[in-house]
Chain A
């Protein structure tokens, strides 16, 4: 059973516009959420995180929004740049000592 879902396998966005990547989860015990980015032929790299006590966390062009009641989070990238083209993994964990559960990823293409 997939506890972290990313229902859009791919997304295309024009350069300069907003990219919105969505993630849904089923386990209400999840308290921490992470986003990782992966370029081809490289391993995933950490991008941004949020804990369940917050509903928003911002880091430069990247903002993550969390809606606990809907069990939904989203990653916003504004403005999108061609270098943002990558696979984005949403991930969740119950406690800081728990294992990380990853989603299947969304492939983002930013078109110049």
Chain B
């Protein structure tokens, strides 16, 4: 009974070839987040949605975009992946508006860029 599902779990792409990572949730939570975690580093917030209200972190590269067509699904698009974009991408949800509520994370998608 997975609550936050990420597909695929492993994604290999070529330098410059667009890639889309997907996240779905069965929790009906309002807020969804995308984090990037590079090896041995802290998860770094890229975007978050409160319902359909999109919030971009100031230092998120333009190469990264996101879509949330409905409550359940959220996508991360990397338009032209570079070698530096190889990382674990974590999706998370939050029930309410307070960041003190528990975030529920998916298992992540590990992106390799060749």
Chain A residues with CB under 8 Å of chain B are 2, 4, 9, 32, 36, 41-46, 49, 89, 93, 95-105
- Residues A96 and B105 in contact, CB atoms below 8 Å apart: no
Contact of B105 among A4, A45, A101, A104 (CB under 8 A): A45
- Residues B92 and A43 in contact, CB atoms below 8 Å apart: yes
- Residues A99 and B45 in contact, CB atoms below 8 Å apart: yes
- Residues B90 and A43 in contact, CB atoms below 8 Å apart: yes
How many angstroms between the C-alpha atoms of A32 and B103 in the bound complex?
A: 14
> Per DSSP, are chain B's interface residues mostly helix, strand or loop, or mixed?
loop
- Residues B42 and A100 in contact, CB atoms below 8 Å apart: no
How many angstroms between the C-alpha atoms of A104 and B39 in the bound complex?
A: 9
Known A96-B99, A97-B99, A100-B99; judge A43-B105 contact (CB<8 A): yes
Contact of A43 among B57, B97, B100, B106 (CB under 8 A): B106
Chain B residues with CB under 8 Å of chain A are 4, 35, 40-45, 48, 57, 90, 92, 97-100, 102-108
CB distance from A63 to the nearest CB of B (A): 19
Find chain B residues with CB under 8 A from A42 CB. Answer: 107
Known A43-B92, A96-B99, A97-B97; judge A89-B105 contact (CB<8 A): no
CB distance from B38 to the nearest CB of A (A): 10
Known A43-B90, A43-B105, A43-B108; judge A89-B100 contact (CB<8 A): no
Find chain B residues with CB under 8 A from A93 CB. Answer: 99-100
Find chain B residues with CB under 8 A from A103 CB. Answer: 42
20 contacts between A and B (CB under 8 A): A4-B42, A32-B99, A32-B100, A36-B105, A42-B107, A43-B105, A43-B106, A43-B107, A95-B99, A96-B98, A96-B100, A97-B98, A98-B99, A99-B57, A100-B45, A100-B99, A101-B42, A103-B42, A104-B42, A105-B42
- Across the two chains, which residue of chain A brings its CB closest to B105? A43
- Across the two chains, which residue of chain B brings its CB closest to A38? B105
Find chain B residues with CB under 8 A from A44 CB. Answer: 43, 90, 103, 105
CB distance from A106 to the nearest CB of B (A): 11
